[in-house]
Amino acid sequence: MLWNHSFAFLEDDDCACSQSLTRIPKQVGIDGLRLQAGGDALKTIPVNSQFQIIARLDAQGSMAVLGLPGQRVLDVFANPSTVTDAMRRLVDLPAEQAVKVVQQLATLGFLQPSEQDCACASEDDCGPAVPSSPLTSWLHLTDRCNLRCDYCYLPHVREDMSSETGRAAIDATFRSAIANGFKQVKLKYAGGEPLLRFPLIVELHHYAQSLAEQHGLDLEGVVLSNGTLLTPAMVEILKSLRLRLMISLDGLGQHHDMHRRYAGGRGSFADVAEAVDLALANGLTPNISVTVSSRTAGGLPDVMAWILERELPFSLNFYRENELSASHEDMRLDEQKIINGMLAAFKVIEENLPRRPFLGGIIDRANLSASHTHTCGVGQNYLVFDQRGQIAKCQMHIRKPITDVHVADPLAVIRADQIGIQNISVEEKEGCKTCEWKYWCAGGCPLATYRATGHYDVKSPNCNIYKALFPEALRLEGLRLLKYQDDPEVVQKIVA
């Protein structure tokens, strides 16, 4: 029997991926052990009259859909019990089915050795926590952009990253990856609009591929674009380089254009929609990043239907105020408007449930697909290189660099910094410490919290929104698992 912990599935967006609490699973036999259901850490939410979704909200994390037999078995293990004793009390279930359900629940982590029987005397016995996330670098290829989005935090100076600076940034990323034991490097080609520097993307990614091969590291890359400059030739090159593409789309028609217009004032929706369809027609599936503000929340159901019709991966990210956007007061997050818009979008998801998992990106910076203690990788596994080779902790602080490409291990400098953004563990945030959702929410974007409160160590200003949406998101996941229960990745999560 394996104690099998969940692994992170993180959608692409413009933020830094956090590190999940993945541990190397260790083989533990259950024969003779007394098992117990996970207690307070278990959250169950009805999916329909027959099934409920169950989630372990503790640091291990796990999720499954339970039918009546699964619920029955969990009840029997409410107090510590050996499998043999439990079987005696489960006479109403066929023995073969009862054994299978016990095994499934144990594999998924919902049944665990009771405390006195636990084989894990220390963290070492449980296997080391491994840096399962990559070291991620944001490469700010240009500050220029052909759009002028109302929430943009950039001044759009006419400055580009040179080839030499780009290569130095990639060298620095690999130095830090090797020095800090990372197995994987992720590069985000960003700006400004990175497609304005498409030849540089190609050059730098070829260079990164050669370094990855030389050092035996995995490499992934993504281009974060507004989509308007995409051509079929670019799509072919992105595919050949195995680069993914993330396109920002905030609504249909007017709802997108309310946020994202060209420098001359014309809306960009038509061109972005064309770009998404162009990518699809040429065999590249873009990830859609939707920025949600009070101004556009009413349009969420329509854009969600459009996204699901095309079977696209997506993330819904809440607008974060910055110095340049603060004058647009109508974008500020009005709790009720955002909750209503999100719930209306969830309704559309319920009616068009995608096969693809969506919990990694459905509620802002929360990630319900894997337990974690930090909202993002800032200060841990994230480097943001500006066009001059200066390095910041977050792209929204790109003008507040901490170090530069010349230091031997920039990640060590970023990790040691005590002055810039402090990405505090959710276990240390006031208001979050006792929250049942803490390992899925992690307390929200540190910058948004600091801007709203002047503190990093407190709960998110979006807390009420999160708490209103988490149960609904879990219910949607339950419906998705039930709909695709023939899927090999799903079948183990249906306990019936």
3-state secondary structure 34-59: EEEECHHHEEEEECCCCCEEEEECCC
Nearer to ligand SF4, 70 or 461 (CB): 461
Q: Is 443 in the site for ligand SF4 (CB under 6 A)?
A: yes
Binders in 5-64 for ligand SF4, by CB under 6 A: 15-16
Nearer to ligand SF4, 232 or 431 (CB): 431
Binders in 452-471 for ligand SF4, by CB under 6 A: 459-460, 463, 466-467
Q: Which of 135, 435, 476, 494 binds ligand SF4 (CB under 6 A)?
A: 435
- Considering only the stretches 44-52, 141-149, 338-346, 424-432, report the one whose residues sit in contact with ligand SF4 under the rule CB under 6 A: 424-432
Q: Is 438 in the site for ligand SF4 (CB under 6 A)?
A: yes
Q: Which of 66, 312, 447, 476 binds ligand SF4 (CB under 6 A)?
A: 447
Q: Considering CB under 6 A, how many residues would be counted as binding ligand SF4?
A: 27
Closest CA to 242 of 224, 225, 219, 226: 219
Q: Is 256 in the site for ligand SF4 (CB under 6 A)?
A: no
The pair phi, psi for residue 465, each rounded to 5°, is -65, -50
Closest approach, Cβ 187 to ligand SF4, in A, equals 15
Q: Which of 43, 295, 365, 475 binds ligand SF4 (CB under 6 A)?
A: 365
**CA distances to 201, 268, 277, 340 from 465, in Å:** 38, 29, 32, 10
Query: CB count, 10 Å around CB of 9?
Result: 16
Nearer to ligand SF4, 225 or 289 (CB): 289
Nearer to ligand SF4, 226 or 371 (CB): 371
- Considering only the stretches 80-88, 281-289, 322-330, 371-379, report the one whose residues sit in contact with ligand SF4 under the rule CB under 6 A: 371-379
- Considering only the stretches 47-55, 115-123, 241-249, 437-445, report the one whose residues sit in contact with ligand SF4 under the rule CB under 6 A: 437-445
Q: Is 476 in the site for ligand SF4 (CB under 6 A)?
A: no
Q: How far apart are CA 40 and CA 43, in angstroms?
A: 8
Q: Is 112 in the site for ligand SF4 (CB under 6 A)?
A: no
Strand blocks (E) in 122-231:
135-140, 184-190, 218-225
Residue 375-404 contact track with ligand SF4, rule CB under 6 A, x = bound? xx-x---------------x-x--------
Query: Collapsing DSSP states into helix, strand and coil, what is residue 109?
Result: coil
Query: CB count, 10 Å around CB of 452?
Result: 17
Nearer to ligand SF4, 107 or 462 (CB): 462
Query: Collapsing DSSP states into helix, strand and coil, what is residue 2?
Result: strand
> What residue has token string 């003779």?
32
Alpha-carbon dihedral 428, 432, 435, 437, rounded to 10 degrees: -100
Answer for the pair 359, 368: CB distance below 8 angstroms, yes or no: yes
Query: Collapsing DSSP states into helix, strand and coil, what is residue 246?
Result: strand
Q: Is 474 in the site for ligand SF4 (CB under 6 A)?
A: no
**How buried is residue 4: exposed, middle or buried, by Cβ count under 10 Å (0-12/13-18/19+)?**
middle
Q: Is 444 in the site for ligand SF4 (CB under 6 A)?
A: yes
Q: Is 372 in the site for ligand SF4 (CB under 6 A)?
A: no
Q: How far apart are CA 410 and CA 296, in angstroms?
A: 39
CA 135, 140, 146, 148 dihedral sign is positive
Q: Which of 3, 110, 189, 437 binds ligand SF4 (CB under 6 A)?
A: 437
Nearer to ligand SF4, 69 or 377 (CB): 377
Q: How far is CA 34 from the centre of its chain?
A: 35
- Considering only the stretches 30-38, 267-275, 345-353, 444-452, report the one whose residues sit in contact with ligand SF4 under the rule CB under 6 A: 444-452
Closest approach, Cβ 301 to ligand SF4, in A, equals 24
- Considering only the stretches 2-10, 24-32, 216-224, 425-433, report the one whose residues sit in contact with ligand SF4 under the rule CB under 6 A: 425-433
Binders in 296-325 for ligand SF4, by CB under 6 A: 320
Closest CA to 117 of 42, 31, 40: 31
The pair phi, psi for residue 220, each rounded to 5°, is -130, 155
- Residues of this chain that interact with ligand SF4 (CB under 6 A) are 15-16, 320, 365, 375-376, 378, 394, 396, 421, 426, 431-432, 435, 437-438, 441, 443-447, 459-460, 463, 466-467
